[in-house]
């Protein structure tokens, strides 16, 4: 009898909460670009790799751990905004520096550092479409020097994070809302790898006051604040995992490897989280702090000779993208 008496009260409370959630203010975080606009970002990333590689050629000096550090400052200039919502941008790498360290001779460390060090002073143009995808990349520096364009995905891969269009539901989001995303891992050694994420719209707060931004400001008081304090930001937490779709025994060879007479197999998993702040006024990314751990145990086998390269290891990565004031 007591439950029956309380039941109408419970139903009333549930109804009120449901109506409140339904009526919550929803926001759309699509970035607002205008021709002539200039935006500047600072990008910092670091990674530490541990593991062992076994190959037909024994390397007695092979290392077991290495670390990489990348620092970039990129100025974006808005060239054109199309009626369909896509925008043409020019990226000028004002600063670009990288270094690698290892506990043994690593012939790839120099190429990693030089790839980013050569970016300083270079200029690219590209299109950011309405889904947040980077297309139509042109290397203006190479064109001026008469060189043929090459793949420069590492140089612009961070741009995927600047737009929130691909990361949030099209109908908008409200504080407290959760949603899930899924996307393939491009260029992976194993086929079928996907990243599954669950995002939560935590709160609104003055831009530049998130824990990551505050810690960064205390660590280097000489660096200016990201944006004017009056601008409010939507704070979104995303937790993600990397897994492989399908059976663990199914063929994991990507088409590119198969065409070159190679077969791949093994496992590759990972997890991490990202804390992102988007300006409610402009829809632009103000700050993004991400950390992840990946575990891998895979082998690459030649279909012709049967020779195999086996690698087992772990990679821990951290990155931060920060919007900085545009200087005159």
How many whole angstroms separate alpha carbon 301 and alpha carbon 304? 9
- Count of beta carbons in the 10 Å neighbourhood of residue 68: 20
Q: Is 322 exposed, middle or buried (0-12, 13-18, 19+ CB in 10 A)?
A: buried
Q: What local confidence, expressed as pLDDT, does residue 55 receive? A: 76
Check residue 94 and give its pLDDT: 94
Return the closest-CA partner of residue 132 out of 157, 154, 150.
Answer: 157
Domain range list for the chain:
33-163, 166-328
| Alpha carbon distance 17, 245 (integer Å) | 38
Per-residue pLDDT at 163? 63
pLDDT in tens, the chain (328 residues): 343 444 444 443 333 343 344 445 888 888 889 999 999 999 999 999 998 888 776 655 556 788 999 999 999 999 999 998 889 999 999 999 999 888 765 555 557 788 888 889 999 998 988 877 888 888 887 655 445 444 445 566 777 666 655 568 888 899 999 999 998 888 889 999 999 999 999 999 998 765 543 334 334 434 433 334 458 999 999 999 999 987 777 889 999 999 999 999 999 999 999 999 999 998 889 999 999 999 999 999 998 888 999 999 999 999 999 999 765 4
Return the pLDDT at 84. Answer: 87
The pLDDT value given to residue 79: 96
Nearest alpha-carbon partner for 85 in 38, 124, 132, 125: 132
Quickly list DSSP for 264-306: EEEEEEEEEEEEEEEETTT--EEEEEEEEEEEEEEEEEETTT-
User: With the CA atoms of 108, 111, 117 and 122 taken in that order, what torsion angle do they form, in degrees rounded to the nearest 10?
Assistant: -140
pLDDT at 36: 94
CA proximity to 71, closest of 326, 324, 325: 324
pTM of the predicted structure, to 2 decimals: 0.78
- Per DSSP bridges, beta strands 178-184 and 87-102 are unpaired
Q: Residue 181: beta bridge partners? A: 197
| DSSP structure string for 311-325 | EEEEEEEEEEEEEEP
Three-state secondary structure call for residue 326: coil
- pLDDT of the residue at 315: 95
pLDDT at residue 242, as a whole number:
95
């Amino acid at each position: 009898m007591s439950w029956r008496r309380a039941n109408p009260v419970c139903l009333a409370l549930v109804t009120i909460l449901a109506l409140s959630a339904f009526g919550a203010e929803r926001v759309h975080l699509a970035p607002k670009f205008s021709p002539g606009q200039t935006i500047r970002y600072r990008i910092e990333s670091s990674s530490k790799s541990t593991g062992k590689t076994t190959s037909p050629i024994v390397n007695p000096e092979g290392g077991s751990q290495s670390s990489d550090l990348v620092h970039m400052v990129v100025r974006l200039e808005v060239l054109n905004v199309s009626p369909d919502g896509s925008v043409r941008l020019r990226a000028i790498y004002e600063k670009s520096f990288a270094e690698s360290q290892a506990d043994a001779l690593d012939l790839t460390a120099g190429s990693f550092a030089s790839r980013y060090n050569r970016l300083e002073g270079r200029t690219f143009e590209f299109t950011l479409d309405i889904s947040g995808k980077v297309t139509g990349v042109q290397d203006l520096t190479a064109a001026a020097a008469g060189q043929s364009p090459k793949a420069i995905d590492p140089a612009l891969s961070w741009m995927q994070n600047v737009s929130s269009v691909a990361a949030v539901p099209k109908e908008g989001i409200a504080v407290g809302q959760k949603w899930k995303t899924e996307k393939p891992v491009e260029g992976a050694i194993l086929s079928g790898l996907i990243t599954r994420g669950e995002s939560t719209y935590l709160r609104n707060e003055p831009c530049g006051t998130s824990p990551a931004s505050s810690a960064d400001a205390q660590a280097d008081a000489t660096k200016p604040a990201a944006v004017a304090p009056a601008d409010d930001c939507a704070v979104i937490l995303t937790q993600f995992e990397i897994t492989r779709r399908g059976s663990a025994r199914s063929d994991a060879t990507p088409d590119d490897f198969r065409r070159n007479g190679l077969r791949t197999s093994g496992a590759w998993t990972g997890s991490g989280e990202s804390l992102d702040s988007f300006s409610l006024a402009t829809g632009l990314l103000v700050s993004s702090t991400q950390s992840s751990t990946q575990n891998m145990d895979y082998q690459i086998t030649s279909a012709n000779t049967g020779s195999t390269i086996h690698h087992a290891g772990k990679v821990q990565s951290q990155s931060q993208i920060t919007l900085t004031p545009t200087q005159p």
